[in-house]
Amino acid sequence: MDILRKIEMYREEEEKLRWEGTFAEYLQLLKEKPWVAQSAHSRVYNMIKDAGIVKEKGKKTYEFFNQQLFGLEEALDRLVEEYFHPAAKRLDVRKRILLLMGPVSGGKSTLVTMLKRGLEAYSHSDNGAVYAIKGCPMHEDPLHLIPHYLRKDFYEEYGIRIEGNLSPLNMMRLEQEYGGRIEDVQVERIFFSEDRRIGIGTFSPSDPKSQDIADLTGSLDFSTIAEYGSESDPRAYRFDGELNKANRGMMEFQEMLKCDEKFLWHLLSLTQEGNFKAGRFALISADELIVAHTNETEYRSFISNKKNEALHSRIIVMPIPYNLKVSQEERIYEKMIRESDVSDVHIAPHTLKVAAMFTILTRLKEPKKGDIDLVKKMRLYDGENVEGYNQADVDELKKEYQDEGMSGIDPRYVINRISSTIIRKEVASINALDVLRSLKDGLDQHPSITAELREKYMNYISLARKEYDTIAKKEVQKAFVYSYEESAKTLMDNYLDNVEAYCNKAKLRDPLTGEEISPDEKLMRSIEEQIGISENAKKAFREEVLIRISAYARKGKRFDYNSHDRLREAIQKKLFADLKDVVKITTSSKTPDEQQLKKINDVVARLIDEHGYNSTSANELLRYVGSLLNR
């Protein structure tokens, strides 16, 4: 469908949703849909809730954030459960400014933007509909029209609590345009839009000396004072500050802590009393979520300043740390690359994963428990099975540090290094080694990396490189076998036949000659040795395997290659050990013979077809693994 048609449809859709009526009609509507009168905070919470909450293994994930934010489940859960949820229930936190605190490029702006775009879309839905006094620059809540002395009665009839006072402007309009007849006041449905300055605002401080508070709270329109005769006539005032415009929705306060104090004092009253002072008027009620973001250093210096004391209690700080999972970090890079101009470049498999390993290592803190090293911790955090550890160990590791994830390498740095690799290499393909090299070279130029830190990071690069070596070898060896799974299965069946005969003190039958033969001790040992089973322990191991098989049989389950972790590992290792020499000779021969050449071509083809390489990256991989095996 062409884009103009889509635009037209969108307009038609909005046209259909439009609603206009008198206050009396609005009250009628409230009887059917009382939720449209909800507070701004409640609307934000319901928007998140309506998108869906998935509960799995005691952990919650919010669909609302899922498409854009990765690996922040815990921080987001805390944000929702400690701020949005209680705020929606009108608890005190609602009156505080939400301050997201986290390291640079950790997703804070992304989060705020999601909330804004989310609210825009939500206001088009039935659940997120918003209504306002027509013609009001602040889209004032129509219920403010109900006088205070009737609000208790209103609550009894409608079950809706009203907060806030009718603004001076609408007070005047009520008298002059409607002759005081509240029921006639026109009400309309509004649709949030940052572009049109409806319900979504952004305040970003410029030069504190030149910046005017008007940007926040609106200003007197001097050209109209003569017309209205007085500065205190609300019609002579332009309610067009960000706080005005964001009423009913949310305002992002950029660089809040860098801001001049006078701006912050306005927020103090707004957050405490739900109103702010503008011009010469009585206080103006506002209902909006205010979100700011900052980094840790800035925040510490802010709270250490005595002058800011009164503001402390008006702010709720929510940490937004870096993601600490390798697989999620990979997704972040994939997303950032998709959104960039280099998205058509071939990135060899495992490249982003290896870069992510380096990044996560820089963010993790050294485990206090002696027997876990940093790489193991990285694996555990990513949900991998590490022999000898379980989920309880992961939870314990997480408890060791409160502030993990607040420092380390940011995703932008990695993406910049990847881009610069692509540009410098001038080919349409990059691999893990290219990226590790580039990450390393970039450390010198990174502004916030000290010499000491640099050394540490160099070490993490070697660790990531070691991980890559293992991955690369495995990948090539797998590609060397025609069907890896098949070979593994054959080898295992063979092993099990022998084990069975051994344990039952029986003979095997040679499949070719039909002769009776003794169990192949050499074969069994060559597999068992791969996982360090000693001569003394072999009998117990074999019996244990047989017991497992019969347990499976009893439950009617098939015992297969994946049914026994250690046996699988042994089989894998044995296959690789057998292959090693073949791979070594084939990949490093300077003048491969015809047969070797054919093998190499087969392997390259398999890497391309089945493993996501292109011919450049597949050949690079083979060459690299050849050199590794010859070391």
Ligand X SMILES: Nc1ncnc2c1ncn2[C@@H]1O[C@H](COP(=O)(O)OP(=O)(O)O)[C@@H](O)[C@H]1O
Q: What does the binding site for ligand X look like in residue numbers (CB under 6 A)?
A: 68-72, 102, 104-110, 323, 332, 336, 411-412
Q: How far apart are CA 236 and CA 136, in angstroms?
A: 14
Closest CB 336 distance from ligand X, rounded Å: 5
In three-state secondary structure terms, 43 is: helix
Would you say 271 or 294 has its CB closer to Mg ion?
Answer: 294
Closest residue to Mg ion, based on beta-carbon distance: 109
Would you say 67 or 109 has its CB closer to Mg ion?
Answer: 109
Residue 104 interacts with which of Mg ion, ligand X, none, CB < 5 to 8 Å by class: ligand X
Would you say 109 or 301 has its CB closer to Mg ion?
Answer: 109
Closest CB 68 distance from ligand X, rounded Å: 6
Tokens of 361: 């290592």
Contacting positions for Mg ion (CB under 5 A): 109
Would you say 110 or 327 has its CB closer to ligand X?
Answer: 110
Closest CB 109 distance from Mg ion, rounded Å: 3
Residue 99 interacts with which of Mg ion, ligand X, none, CB < 5 to 8 Å by class: none
Residue 336 interacts with which of ligand X, Mg ion, none, CB < 5 to 8 Å by class: ligand X
Would you say 322 or 480 has its CB closer to Mg ion?
Answer: 322
> What are the backbone dihedrals phi and psi of residue 401, each rounded to the nearest 5 degrees, phi first?
-130, 135
What dihedral angle (degrees, nearest 10) is formed by the CA atoms of 134, 139, 141, 142? -10
Residue 356 interacts with which of ligand X, Mg ion, none, CB < 5 to 8 Å by class: none
CB 561 within 8 A of CB 569: no
Closest CB 196 distance from ligand X, rounded Å: 24
Closest CB 410 distance from ligand X, rounded Å: 7
Closest CB 38 distance from Mg ion, rounded Å: 29
> What are the backbone dihedrals phi and psi of residue 251, each rounded to the nearest 5 degrees, phi first?
-125, 130
Would you say 368 or 412 has its CB closer to ligand X?
Answer: 412
Instruction: Concatenate the DSSP letters of all residues of 144-206 into one string.
Output: GGS-GGGHHHHHHHH-----S---HHHHHHHHHHHTT-GGG-EEEEE--BTTTTBSEEEE---
Residue 332 interacts with which of ligand X, Mg ion, none, CB < 5 to 8 Å by class: ligand X
Q: How far apart are CA 81 and CA 59, in angstroms?
A: 12
Q: Sign of dihedral through CA atoms 412, 418, 422, 427? A: negative
Q: How far apart are CA 114 and CA 63, in angstroms?
A: 12
Q: How many CB atoms lie within 10 A of CB 135?
A: 14
In three-state secondary structure terms, 606 is: helix
Q: How far apart are CA 333 and CA 355, in angstroms?
A: 9
Would you say 221 or 334 has its CB closer to ligand X?
Answer: 334
Scanning the structure block, which residue is given the tokens 């054959």?
490
Tokens of 437: 């090299």
Would you say 334 or 520 has its CB closer to ligand X?
Answer: 334
Residue 198 buriedness (CB in 10 A; 0-12 / 13-18 / 19+): buried
Closest CB 71 distance from ligand X, rounded Å: 5
Q: How far apart are CA 425 and CA 422, in angstroms?
A: 5
Would you say 145 or 251 has its CB closer to ligand X?
Answer: 251
Residue 72 interacts with which of ligand X, Mg ion, none, CB < 5 to 8 Å by class: ligand X
Would you say 109 or 630 has its CB closer to Mg ion?
Answer: 109
Residue 447 buriedness (CB in 10 A; 0-12 / 13-18 / 19+): exposed
Q: How far apart are CA 267 and CA 278, in angstroms?
A: 12
Residue 24 interacts with which of Mg ion, ligand X, none, CB < 5 to 8 Å by class: none
Quote the distance between the C-alpha of residue 448 and its chain's center.
24
Residue 458 interacts with which of Mg ion, ligand X, none, CB < 5 to 8 Å by class: none
Residue 107 interacts with which of Mg ion, ligand X, none, CB < 5 to 8 Å by class: ligand X
Closest CB 112 distance from ligand X, rounded Å: 8
Question: 293 forms bridges with which residues in the sheet?
Answer: 100
Closest CB 96 distance from ligand X, rounded Å: 20
- CB within 8 Å of 191: residues ≥ 6 apart: 14, 17, 120, 123, 124, 130, 198
**Greatest CA span in the chain, whole angstroms?**
117
Residue 71 interacts with which of Mg ion, ligand X, none, CB < 5 to 8 Å by class: ligand X
Closest CB 105 distance from Mg ion, rounded Å: 7
Q: How many CB atoms lie within 10 A of CB 376?
A: 18
Residue 421 interacts with which of Mg ion, ligand X, none, CB < 5 to 8 Å by class: none
139 φψ region: left (φ > 0), alpha (ψ -120 to 50), beta (else)? left
Residue 70 interacts with which of Mg ion, ligand X, none, CB < 5 to 8 Å by class: ligand X
Which of 397, 323, 399 minimizes the C-alpha distance to 360?
Answer: 323
Closest CB 84 distance from Mg ion, rounded Å: 20
Closest CB 260 distance from ligand X, rounded Å: 22
Tokens of 176: 């002059």
Residue 75 interacts with which of Mg ion, ligand X, none, CB < 5 to 8 Å by class: none
Closest CB 217 distance from ligand X, rounded Å: 26
Would you say 264 or 291 has its CB closer to Mg ion?
Answer: 291
Q: How many CB atoms lie within 10 A of CB 550?
A: 10
Q: How far apart are CA 391 and CA 535, in angstroms?
A: 33
Would you say 109 or 230 has its CB closer to Mg ion?
Answer: 109
CB 619 within 8 A of CB 474: no
Would you say 109 or 176 has its CB closer to Mg ion?
Answer: 109
Q: How far apart are CA 572 and CA 457, in angstroms?
A: 33
